[in-house]
Structure 1
Amino acid sequence: MITLEGITKVYKNGPLEVQALMPLDLHIEKGEFVAIMGSSGSGKSTLMNIIGCLDIPTAGSYELDGDPVQSLSEEELSRVRNRKIGFVFQSFNLLGRQTVLQNVTLPMMYAGISREKRNERALELLGRVGLAERVKHRPNELSGGQKQRVAIARALTMNAPILLADEPTGNLDTKSSYEIMELFKEIHADGTTIVLVTHEPDIAEHADRIITFGDGRILSDKRKGSVSL
């Protein structure tokens, strides 16, 4: 599903260069639930942005579902992000003036899906994440956990085979964090490939595979019940 080979990332600021990712190889199979662990500045979010086609590597190759990402145009990359990848962010990224229902329908609107089908799909997903009674509310009327549930529903609208979550519990209390992780487990059980970035070991433990990052390198790669890869 996800194959990275010799991936590096260098950021330039005038004469200065910062290497965020050292050369790395990573393969994630279809249907895996992977947590990427690491402290701030370790390179884990840079890796997530590359996997999500939000950033391009300085060197190396990336294949997503068999397609070489580096050869895609901006329009093609946008289509990949819309149809193959669902995104969940720490800050929720909801539109404050839009209702819960309108926020969830946005990816489908960009894909040209009719309003009737958009609303039908959004209502189905909001029911799944336990927010059927909140469809007309706006984000400022929701708790942090509820906002993240809206964001998850939005990420699922296009039936994307991959769900990327960048610190999805970072702004939540402990109870809400575990409820969100249980929701991710349910989504994973349906066959979705999940890649989750976190700095919290207890959150990472919900995944089946934990990759630890440090200084732009993979320090360890462990599957539950196995030794480091």
Structure 2
Amino acid sequence: MITLSDITKVYKNGPLEVEALSRINLQINEGEFVAIMGTSGSGKSTLMNIIGCLDIPTSGTYVLDGQEVQTLNEDELSKVRNRKIGFVFQSFNLLGRQTVLQNVTLPMMYAGMPRDHRQERALHLLEKVGLEGRVKHRPTELSGGQKQRVAIARALTMGAPILLADEPTGNLDSKSSHDIMALFKEIHQEGTTIVLVTHEPDIAEHADRILLFGDGKLLKDTRKGSVPS
């Protein structure tokens, strides 16, 4: 599903060059649940942005579901992000003036789906995440855990095979974090490939595989029940 070969990312700030990622080689198979860990500045968020087609590497090759990402133009990249990848962020990224239902239908509207289909699918997903009674509420009327559930429902609208989550429990209390991770595990069991960035070891333990990053390098690759590589 995801193959990174010799991926390097260099950011330039005037005469300064900062290597955020250094020759990363990584393969994530369809149906895996992977957690990416590392301290601030370790390269984990840069990696997530590249996997999500939000940024491009300075060098190396990224193949997503059989497509070499660097060969795609902006329109093609936009379609990939819309159809193949669902995004969940720490800050939820919900539109404050829109209702819960409107927030969830947004990606489908951009994709040109008929209104009736958008409504039906959004209501189904909101029921799935336990928010069927909140469809007319606005984000300001929801708790942090409820906001993240809306964000997860929105990420699932297009039936994307990959779900990327960047610190999805970072703004939540422990109970809400537990509930959100239970929801991720349920989604994973239904066949979705999940890649999650976190700095919390107890959150990473929900994954089947943990990647530890430091100074832009992949330091350790651990699968549950196996010896770290």
Whether these two folds match at TM > 0.5 is yes
Report what 1:146 is aligned to. Answer: 146
Q: Secondary structure at the match of 1:96?
A: coil
Per-residue CA deviation, residues 126-155 of structure 1 (Å, 9 max, x unaligned), is: 000000000000000000000000000000
Following the alignment from structure 1 to structure 2, what is the Cα–Cα distance between the partners of residues 32 and 224?
A: 12
Report what 1:19 is aligned to. Answer: 19
Report what 2:158 is aligned to. Answer: 158
Per-residue CA deviation, residues 71-106 of structure 1 (Å, 9 max, x unaligned), is: 000000000000000000000000000000000000
Report what 2:93 is aligned to. Answer: 93
Query: Within the alignment, does 1:167 sit opposite 2:158 as a pair?
Result: no
Following the alignment from structure 1 to structure 2, what is the Cα–Cα distance between the partners of residues 228 and 140?
A: 43
Report what 1:125 is aligned to. Answer: 125
Per-residue CA deviation, residues 182-214 of structure 1 (Å, 9 max, x unaligned), is: 000000000000000000000000000000000
Q: How does 1:55-70 map to 2 (within 5 A)?
A: 55-70=55-70
Query: Within the alignment, does 1:194 sit opposite 2:194 as a pair?
Result: yes
Following the alignment from structure 2 to structure 1, what is the Cα–Cα distance between the partners of residues 127 and 227?
A: 40
Return the letter of the residue paired with 1:16.
L
Q: Secondary structure at the match of 2:137?
A: coil
Aligned residues: 229
Return the letter of the residue paired with 1:84.
K
Report what 1:33 is aligned to. Answer: 33
Report what 1:104 is aligned to. Answer: 104
TM-score by length of 1: 1.00
**Mind listing any 5+ residue stretches in structure 2 that lack a counterpart?**
none
Q: Secondary structure at the match of 1:6?
A: strand
Return the letter of the residue paired with 1:151.
A
Following the alignment from structure 2 to structure 1, what is the Cα–Cα distance between the partners of residues 24 and 189?
A: 29
Q: Secondary structure at the match of 1:53?
A: coil
Following the alignment from structure 1 to structure 2, what is the Cα–Cα distance between the partners of residues 40 and 148?
A: 23
Identity of aligned residues (%): 80
Return the letter of the residue paired with 1:125.
L
Report what 1:82 is aligned to. Answer: 82
**Deviation of 1:33 (Å):** 0.1
Following the alignment from structure 2 to structure 1, what is the Cα–Cα distance between the partners of residues 223 and 206?
A: 12
Q: Secondary structure at the match of 1:34?
A: strand
Following the alignment from structure 1 to structure 2, what is the Cα–Cα distance between the partners of residues 144 and 130?
A: 14
TM-score by length of 2: 1.00
**Deviation of 1:228 (Å):** 1.2
**Deviation of 1:178 (Å):** 0.6
Q: Secondary structure at the match of 1:158?
A: coil
**RMSD, aligned CA:** 0.4
Return the letter of the residue paired with 2:59.
A
